[in-house]
Amino acid sequence: MNEEQTDVYIVLISVHGLIRGNNLELGRDADTGGQTLYVLELAQALSERPEVAKVELFTRLVKDDSIDPEYAQPIEKINDKLSIVRMEAGPEGYVFKEQLWDYLDIFADDMMEYFRNQEHYPDIIHSHYADAGYVGSQLANQLSIPLIHTGHSLGRVKRARLFANGVSSEEIESQYNMSRRINAEEHVLATAERVITSTHQEIEEQYEIYDFYQPEQMRVIPPGTNLNQFQPPRGDELSSELYQQLTYSLTDTNKPIILALSRPDPRKNISALIEAYGQSPELQEKANLLIIAGNRDDVDDLESGAQEVFHEIWAMIDRYDLYGKVSLPKHHCRNDVAFIYRIAAASGGVFVNPALTEPFGLTLIEASASGLPIVATEDGGPRDIIENCQNGILIDPLEPQTITQALLDMFNQPEMKNKMIEHGLRGVKQHYAWKAHAETYLKLITPIVEKSERLPRTPISRRSAMYRDRALVTSLDHNLIGNPEALSKLIALLKEHRKSTLFIVATNRRMDSALRLLKHYKLPEPDTLITSSGTEIYYAPKLNKDKYWTKHIDFHWVRHKIKDLLDGHPGLSLQPKSEQSPFKISYYLNEDVTDLDHINGILHQEDESANTQLSFDKYLDILPMRASKGMALRYVADRWQIPLENILVIGGSGADENMMRGNTLAVVVANRHKEELSHLPELEKIYYAKKSYEEGILEAIEHFDFFGKCCPPDLQTAAKSNAETEKNHSLENDSPENEEV
């Protein structure tokens, strides 16, 4: 920090939620949660720095009989340097953030009036979330004050998450004002000097899809953690009542504890940890497994995803005979969490986070601050945490053996394990405490305040379309794994056109199998992943499962009856358990014994509503009547509001046929010409590529001018001809003979 700069005046803006200096009502609603705590703790940490003269946190003033009158206090002084300033904007009562957009200009004007009455204007304005970003952009442009921004969450990402919950595009626009939010976010990116994120993944997978994204604008400063709450063991943990409750079902309680703590969510991948533990007698000999997965009274009362997780956990415990080695407590209190970490640390244990996707990884920081070494997924935030702290081992969450090996390395190499514990304790204080956050933050803003560093801006323009207007859809097998050089070119093209083009993978594989293949070939994470032959749909970046689609296809679907009908039938044999799912029954078909028409006849005769799908002449999937890759694709296209005419489908097997028929553009790559897709009609929208695998895809992209006019060549010619005719007609109308006298 420059010694001359000792009077920095920082303004933070967080418009919505209920913010006050103490006793935050966290969890009251979606608007009063992590963001309000983050902003308050940031303000407090900055106010403790000697270089800072004043910090003001601007939020909305609320007069409402249903909430504490403190929120109607215009100015709340927290300490000598920090105040919360509340602006009147909109209704007096408390309203959610989505209803505040019409009042943000009033908020900005009132802040401007407030500044005019101060001795000095702020040195920096720091906005939090899109609504504050809108206000901050207005003020920054009016006053020529540098703007710093933290998004917390982004509209383009939130839109996909809402799709997963069954919210239509129309509802998203009307209920969430999504277009206004995204426009505000774009405006902030065009204005802000710096954008602060928690992880590098947030930059790469979320901000990169914005038109005004500029990489040199982004800085990663992880949020601080309250280290007063999370501390190493004190010595009384293993004699506590809580320890007895957590370990009562274990046979040998003298072993170290492998601790996993998360929601019972399929994306948390708890089953992979149990599989890793169950497949290693050596690991079972060395440690017990403690899984804290939320609270439950009756599993059947939980939502379907959580039920699925618990049933899979119990099935694996039984499969590997892990009774007496795994503890799965039914209840714990929020206040118990810090003590649970200390119990695991006192036992000589390890903390494991095997999640499929982990944007930040707060539990890893809490565990490290509590004296635990960590084993964590190589996805997202954990990469940054382990790189900063050198406190653990990264694993592939899709390969349980990597989890097994990492844990064995921990227990077999105590010196390495102890070093990781020391590094974790030191690294968390250095990188993830609020004191460290404030220090890094001030190093970032000082040159901006002193005008010695400004963001060099390159000319950027907005696309005409608010959202992506086309999609490339491909299966995996026989399409994307044949030509590494061409694959690199295809990936580069998709990255170049990421802002306009949705990347969709539609596969017969289960989600975990598909992710494994994508990772192996270093393919980009798809924006939408259609798996299990069209029975499951997931949205990036957090792999949110589309619950509405699950409800939609569960129509006259009686899985056990169909299975009873077909199991043991001549010519059919069940595929492995790894290929089965709640809405997919998969068999191997021996065509010498039976055929697809015969199977359909059996189902119709018994009045069973099902959709049969044959791939590569031997893989038979029985699905609900409403499920297929084609129907899933049309559902997704409607969700994203992308015309079918702007979707290019690359088919690999007969299961892809109903994606390729109709109004979509389609290509059959050369290595599939003689297979199941050779009978597709000779239509201008279906192209038979001369080249195979990825080269055939690149050929089709050029054939259809996919990133340009996005249509068959005949229509491209017609469009060009029409454009030339219109141009000539315009020139004739502009000629001197046609001018009025």
* DSSP labels, 442-487: HHHHHHHHTTS--PPPPP----SSSS--EEEEE-STTTSSS-HHHH
Please report the pLDDT score of residue 295 as a whole number.
86
Element (H, E) at 197: strand 194-197
DSSP for 299-317 reads: GGGS-HHHHHHHHHHHHHH
Report the CATH fold assignment for 237-432.
Rossmann fold (3.40.50)
pLDDT-derived band at 728 (thresholds 50, 70, 90) equals low
| Count of C-beta atoms within a 10 Å radius of residue 557 | 21
Average pLDDT over every residue of 227-254: 94
- Give, in order, the Cα–Cα distances in Å from 208 to each of 157, 201, 500: 11, 10, 12
| Mean pLDDT value across residues 268-273 | 93
What does the pLDDT read at residue 2?
A: 44
pLDDT in tens, 472-523: 999 888 787 777 889 999 999 999 999 999 999 999 988 888 998 888 888 8
Angle 466-470-476 (CA atoms, 0-180°, nearest 5)? 135
pLDDT at 97 over 80: yes
Under 8 Å CB-to-CB from 639, ≥6 apart: which residues?
A: 163, 168, 169
Give yes or no for residue 532 having a pLDDT over 80. yes
Q: How many residues does the chain have?
A: 741
Domain ranges of the chain: 8-220, 237-432, 470-555+626-710, 713-741
Share of the chain above pLDDT 90, in %: 66
User: pLDDT digits over 645-686, tens only?
Assistant: 999 999 877 788 889 989 999 998 887 655 666 667 667 888
Q: Is pLDDT above 60 for 634? A: yes
Could you read off the pLDDT of 686-708 as tens digits, one per residue?
Answer: 898 899 889 999 999 999 999 99
Asked whether 126 and 149 are in contact (CB, 8 A), the reply is yes
**Dihedral angle at the C-alpha atoms of 171, 174, 176, 180, nearest 10 degrees?**
130
Residue 639: other Cβ atoms inside 10 A: 24
pLDDT for 739 equals 43
Residues contacting 543, CB < 8 A, separation 6+: 267, 356, 357, 511, 529
C-alpha–C-alpha distance, residues 317 and 261, integer Å: 17
Residue type at position 525 = E
Q: Is the pLDDT of residue 596 over 90?
A: no
The set of residues, in sequence order, having a beta carbon less than 8 Å from that of 322 and lying 6+ positions away, is 274, 277, 278, 284, 289, 316
Q: Is there a contact between 32 and 61 (Cβ–Cβ < 8 Å)?
A: no
DSSP state, residue 48: T
| CB neighbour list of residue 214: distance below 8 Å, 6 or more residues apart | 189, 455, 457, 458, 460
Confidence class for position 526, pLDDT limits 50, 70, 90: very high
Alpha carbon distance 428, 648 (integer Å): 47
pLDDT of 308: 86
Q: How confident is the model at residue 205 (pLDDT cuts 50, 70, 90)?
A: confident
Q: How confident is the prediction for the chain on average, in pLDDT?
A: 90
Cα–Cα distance between 349 and 417 in angstroms, integer? 10
Compute, in degrees rounded to 10, the torsion defined by CA atoms 491, 493, 499, 504.
-50
Write the DSSP string, 67-130.
S-GGGG-SEEE-SSSEEEEEE--S-SS---GGG-GGGHHHHHHHHHHHHHTSSS--SEEEEEHH
CATH placement of domain 470-555+626-710: 3.40.50.1000
Cβ atoms within 10 Å, residue 413: 12
The answer to whether the beta carbons of residues 370 and 342 sit under 8 Å apart is yes
pLDDT digits (tens, 9 = 90+) for 392-441: 999 999 899 999 999 999 999 999 999 999 999 999 999 999 999 999 99
Q: What is the pLDDT averaged over residues 345-351?
A: 97
Binning pLDDT at 50, 70 and 90, where does residue 461 land?
confident
Confidence bin at 615 (pLDDT 50/70/90): confident
pLDDT(614) > 90: no
**pLDDT the model gives residue 355:** 92
Q: Which residue has the higher pLDDT, 23 or 418?
A: 418
pLDDT value, residue 3: 46
Confidence tier at 718 by pLDDT (50, 70, 90): low
The b/e string for 5-36 (b: 16+ C-beta within 10 A; e otherwise) is: beebbbbbbbbbbbbbbeebbeeeeebbbebb
On the question of pLDDT at 736 being above 60, the answer is no
Cβ neighbours of residue 664 closer than 8 Å, sequence gap 6 or more: 473, 633, 644, 645, 647, 648, 649, 685
Tokens coding 566 = 């077909």
User: Edge to edge, what strands does the sheet with 326-327 contain?
Assistant: 326-327, 288-292, 257-261, 350-353, 374-377, 392-395
Helices within 589-628 (DSSP H only): 596-605
Give the C-alpha separation, 124 to 188, whole Å: 15
Q: What share of the chain is helix, strand, coil (3-state, %, to 5)?
A: 45, 15, 40
Rounded Cα distance, 370 and 364, in Å:
10
Q: Which position has the higher pLDDT, 333 or 240? A: 240
Q: What is the mean pLDDT of residues 263-274?
A: 91
- What's at 556, amino acid-wise? H
Instruction: Say what the pLDDT of residue 740 is.
Output: 40
Bigger pLDDT: 720 vs 57: 57
Q: Do 8-220 and 237-432 have matching folds?
A: yes
| 8-220 fold | Rossmann fold (3.40.50)
Half-sphere exposure in the Cβ direction for 367 (13 Å, CA): 30
Residue 33 confidence (pLDDT) above 60: yes
